[in-house]
Amino acid sequence: MRVCVIGSGGREHALAVALRRTADVVVTPGNPGIPGSTPDASAQIDADLYVIGPEIPLVAGLADELRSAGKLVFGPGADGARLEGSKVWMKEVLRDAGVPTAASGAFTDVEPALAFLRTLPGPWVVKTDGLAAGKGVLVTGSFDHAAADVVAKLSGVAFGDAGRQVVIEEWLDGPELSLQCVCDGRRAVPLAPAQDFKRLSDGDAGPNTGGMGAYSPVPFAGPDLVAEVLERAVQPTLATLTARGVDYRGVLYAGIMLTSNGPKMLEYNVRFGDPEAQAVFPRSTGDLAALLAEAAAGRIESEPQFDDRAAVTVVLATGGYPLDPRTGDVIEGLEKADALPDVTVFRAGVDRDADGAWITAGGRVLDVTGTGADVATARATAYDAVAAISWPGMQYRTDIAEIGHSAS
Ligand code: AMP
């Protein structure tokens, strides 16, 4: 089978590595660090299966375009991708499906938004309706900060049109879980659970980012919890989508908060997580290409398979990320890290300079995944590899997958 992966980051690199075990893989546009990258557009590439990585092309309808050209596509059409493209719509679907989630209100005008904000005890949660690369969510203990954020978002100053409608939410507390499910339109099968770390700095301080690290498996997410999330949230969501005429073939990634009142859905993403994919796919042992092709064709027949080893992924970001990422710095030590056992360094935002040296070319640059018999071993392996790599201003968290830590 020949698979075309669409995207250019660490997630697509991890997908390509996992798919390549059983398929020929081409990645468009990819990046200079991902083998098999080509500048050819997906429509020009002849493949048996197209796997769309990022949310932006999904929301823009790339899956529909490819399907109407007769291609087999893993990824929802624009109708299903609205789950991620509009938090307001996602909340509607959750309500219809009876899925537990944070109480919320949707607003386009400042005064009613602030009035609703005042009714909440805090901390306060303000989200852009539209896509904001994981950065459109503010969680703050300061009412004034939340109020200013509402004004900045609704005016279009903060996130352009993506913020002209906001969702204001009840604050939820508890450890978070990422459950990525492969869907064939009717049925969802879960991949190994993961936990990701969205805040920039250690101890969950600093702004939300696209993700600073992840690990899998998650000690508190056993089969019973996974089954509960599937039964109470993911399957009812798929049924509601079907009732709305949406044939959802792709990833439903459930972002869940495990509150003292049970699991509550924070959000759905419509694609694999980045960096969750970099922690989950190195553990997959089955035929991923076959599974995704079956889902794309509307009938999952195989089961995803994972080995017992753990994986921990640490994201290396540039100075200034996420607000003002600096690029163009020479990366030292990459080959040394690549050569370490049980380490894979996924290339997210890299390029080569005129002398052939690796340079930084995006906010999140490298995703360093270590594997091992357990999370602690995988973690130590990942951080040993991180220690080999450097460039001016490199940022990373030192507490990814730390024992006793639960991301929030
Ligand atoms: P989202 O993109 O909606 O998943 O939000 C990004 C991150 O913000 C989540 O992973 C949580 O850490 C945090 N967050 C979102 N909604 C809430 C909420 N209602 N209560 C507490 N934290 C939240």
Question: Phi, psi (5° rounding) for residue 16?
Answer: -60, -45
CA distance 130 to 209: 16
CA distance 56 to 77: 12
357 CA distance to ligand 1 centroid (A)?
38
Query: What is the pLDDT at residue 404?
Result: 58
> Does ligand 1 come within 6 angstroms of the Cβ of 267?
yes
138 CA distance to ligand 1 centroid (A)?
8
> Does ligand 1 come within 6 angstroms of the Cβ of 302?
no
Q: Which two three-digit tokens encode residue 153?
A: 């978002």
Question: Phi, psi (5° rounding) for residue 79?
Answer: -65, -50
Query: What is the pLDDT at residue 408?
Result: 43
266 CA distance to ligand 1 centroid (A)?
6
Query: What is the pLDDT at residue 271?
Result: 98
Regions in the chain scoring below 50 on pLDDT: 407-408
171 CA distance to ligand 1 centroid (A)?
8
298 CA distance to ligand 1 centroid (A)?
31
CA distance 266 to 157: 25
- At position 71, the amino acid (one-letter code) is K
∠ CA 175-186-273, nearest 5°, is 35
CA distance 253 to 233: 11
Question: Phi, psi (5° rounding) for residue 327?
Answer: -125, 170
Burial class of 324 by CB neighbour count within 10 A (0 to 12, 13 to 18, 19+): exposed
Ligand 1, residues 116, 131, 137, 256: which to mutate, most atoms within 8 A of Cβ? Answer: 137
> Does ligand 1 come within 6 angstroms of the Cβ of 91?
no
User: Strand 49-52 relative to strand 2-7: parallel, antiparallel, unpaired?
Assistant: parallel
> Does ligand 1 come within 6 angstroms of the Cβ of 129?
no
> Does ligand 1 come within 6 angstroms of the Cβ of 84?
no
Ligand 1, residues 88, 116, 124, 139: which to mutate, most atoms within 8 A of Cβ? Answer: 139
Q: For the chain, give percent helix, strand, coil, nearest 5.
A: 30, 30, 40
- DSSP class of residue 287 equals -
Ligand 1, residues 201, 257, 268, 269: which to mutate, most atoms within 8 A of Cβ? Answer: 257
Query: What is the pLDDT at residue 163?
Result: 83
Return the ligand 1 atom nearest residue 87 CA.
3
**Protein residue with its CA nearest to atom 1 in ligand 1:** 267
Question: Phi, psi (5° rounding) for residue 15?
Answer: -60, -45
Q: Is 385 helix (H, G, I), strand (E, B) or coil?
A: helix
Alpha helix (H) residue ranges in 263-374: 276-280, 288-297, 334-338
Alpha helix (H) residue ranges in 98-200: 110-119, 143-154
Q: Is 379 helix (H, G, I), strand (E, B) or coil?
A: helix
Distance of CA 51 to the CA centre of its chain: 15
Query: What is the pLDDT at residue 161?
Result: 84
Q: Is 336 helix (H, G, I), strand (E, B) or coil?
A: helix
